[in-house]
A and B are shown apart, each in its own frame.
Chain A
Amino acid sequence: MKQFLYFGAFALWVALIAATPLLADNYTIRIAISIAMFSAMAVSWNFIGGFTGYPSFSTAAFFGLGCYAGALAQRNGIPLVMAWVFATLFVAVFAAMLGAIILRLKGHYFAIGSIAIVDLTRLITSSWGSLTGGGDGLNVPLLQGSPQEVSALVLYVMLAILIVAFLTSIYVDRSRLGFGLKCISQNEDAADMVGVNTTSFKIVAYTLSAVFCGAVGAVYASWVGYIDPTDSFSILLTLKVPVMVLLGGAGTLLGPVLGAGVFVMLEEVFWANFLEWNRAILGGIIVFLIFFLPNGLLKIQYRTLYGALVQKLRSAPKQAEKSS
């Protein structure tokens, strides 16, 4: 029953985003694309950060590599969709190989190692000028069509990636793989002892956390038409995605989608109104999350909260009477 509610909510939300090209202006469509894009990456991150409990900060590396792999493939004459598929596979293979090395680290060490990957890939990309254009960036062949058509196309592709990522997370959650990942997140030694092949499970989770980011990156590159190392491998992106998942509820199915939606819209408000302060506000949100919402929006006991609120409202007038 509860699950039907979840899937219904997700389907409704996707339908609403998908309807924006029919109903709203180009600015709103841009926000819708942002939401779809970040939701897909948040759902990805949930595989490693939520289910497995490994705080990965590699998201921007996967996204950036996706951007460059897609762009370079297209510039070398590979057709659009094939280029996107190539970028996705490239990032998956990269993550699987990297995972075999970096997943030997645990806890904070893993977090630091994974964040170093972002800087490393950024530095390699900007130094390897002959291939990547270095700091000058790369022009990506533009998508054909009017601005409206292009944004609608990008939106639908991003939504498709989100849907595939979401269905994958449902499947993983119910499967042997998901069960093993939850065991690892709670007690890795014990997981090993009951026969979970922890190394290969973690590599699969890490690869799943990369593959959709790679796809999103490739599509993003085609959408914006120009990429450079600082924009593609942005540390801010690598922080934002985990924050979105934590905001919604790490390890839950719907949490990443909820968190990404809420975060992108909040950010939009802050960008528009506090241009200079928006990063400080991002910091504020992170601190607030850690102190007051460690389990995310989905794990709040809304009924208890509502009950407490009602009780407070009822007792307030009585107290006023007593004191008078």
Chain B
Amino acid sequence: MTEILRLENVSKSFGGNRAVNDVSFSLEEGEIIGLIGPNGAGKTTLVNLITGVHPLSAGKVIFAGEDVSRQQAFQAARRGLARTFQIVQPFPKMTVLENVAAGALFGGGTGSVEDALDLAHEELKFVGLDAVADTPASSLALPNRKRLELAKSLAMRPKFLLLDEVNAGLNASEIDGALDLIRKIAARGVTILIIEHLMKVVLSISQRILVLHHGELIAQGDPRTVIEDPQVVEAYLGSKFAARVKAESHHA
């Protein structure tokens, strides 16, 4: 196993508010990692720091052996650090196909617009959106918009994919579909960091879990150890929930 991403003492302040405080961890290539924590814990900020949306206040981000602490967002995309947004960000008036082609053309470094469109077709098939390829992105309903975000990120040929609440707002069967898709993406060799509030989802998909609270990393490890950690129970899960999950996982 080789290391793909390492954070060293990363901090970010907005004015006097320390949104991320001295966070360090290291991720292996090919892992699926869950990132959990209460609202306002700094999860999205952390993603923004890794992908160059915000500059770091302190610390270092090392991606594939390279110090990328000072990169800009578009450089992150070209390096293979792709992400999706909690609130989906399509190009509304372009077709679904063109949306995905944008990812291939710029982030994926495809040579020509034609090649990008070809590649976009493949990714649309992969996520199951090829039937709506020529409709405007604004006409899609939420579950398909989320799939579009995924296809767009995949067209960028990422090594590392950060998924910011891809399942928020989906119903149970839609979530199952999304999870299948995420597993299929992982099978392509893409390392995935997933921010998620639904504990069932996190526990079923992650090989490792990181827990943020008040901007600090309070626990990390395999899912079972993490949900039994008293700090995590107090900060996020609540004792009742922890007991229930524990019981369920023992039955299983």
Contacts and interface: CB of A to CB of B under 8 A. Distances in A.
Interface of A: 174-176, 179-180, 182-183, 186-187, 189-198
A225 to B, nearest CB: 46
Contact of A180 (B73, B106, B108): B106
Contacts of B34: none
Contact of B83 (A175, A180, A191, A193): A193
B81 to A, nearest CB: 10
Contact of B113 (A179, A189, A193, A196): A179
B113 A183 contact: no
9 contacts: A179-B102, A187-B90, A187-B91, A190-B89, A190-B90, A191-B91, A191-B106, A192-B73, A194-B102
Contacts of A187: 89-92
- Size range of the chain B interface in the assembly: 20 to 34
Interface of B: 51, 72-74, 77-78, 83, 85, 89-94, 98, 101-103, 105-109, 112-113, 116, 152, 156
Given A182-B91, A190-B91, A192-B73, A176 B102 contact: no
A272 B201 CA distance: 73
Given A183-B106, A190-B90, A196-B106, 19 more contacts: A175-B113, A176-B105, A176-B106, A176-B112, A176-B113, A179-B101, A179-B102, A180-B106, A183-B91, A186-B91, A187-B90, A187-B91, A190-B85, A190-B89, A192-B74, A192-B77, A194-B77, A195-B109, A198-B74
A180 B98 CA distance: 11
A195 B109 CA distance: 9
A193 B103 CA distance: 9
Contacts, number: 69
A115 to B, nearest CB: 27
Most chain A beta carbons < 10 A, residue from B92, B98, B105, B106: B106
A195 B77 CA distance: 5
B92 A194 contact: no
B78 A195 contact: yes
Given A194-B152, A195-B106, A186 B78 contact: no
Given A174-B113, A179-B105, A186-B94, A195 B89 contact: no
B85 to A, nearest CB: 8
Contacts of A191: 91, 102, 106
B113 A182 contact: no
B86 to A, nearest CB: 13
B118 to A, nearest CB: 14
B113 A194 contact: no
A195 B74 contact: yes
Contacts of A190: 85, 89-91
Given A194-B103, A195-B106, A186 B93 contact: yes
A196 B90 contact: no
A179 to B, nearest CB: 6
Contacts of B108: 195
A35 to B, nearest CB: 30
Contacts of B85: 190, 193
Nearest to A200: B74
A196 B73 CA distance: 9
Contact of B89 (A175, A179, A193): A193
A175 B116 CA distance: 12
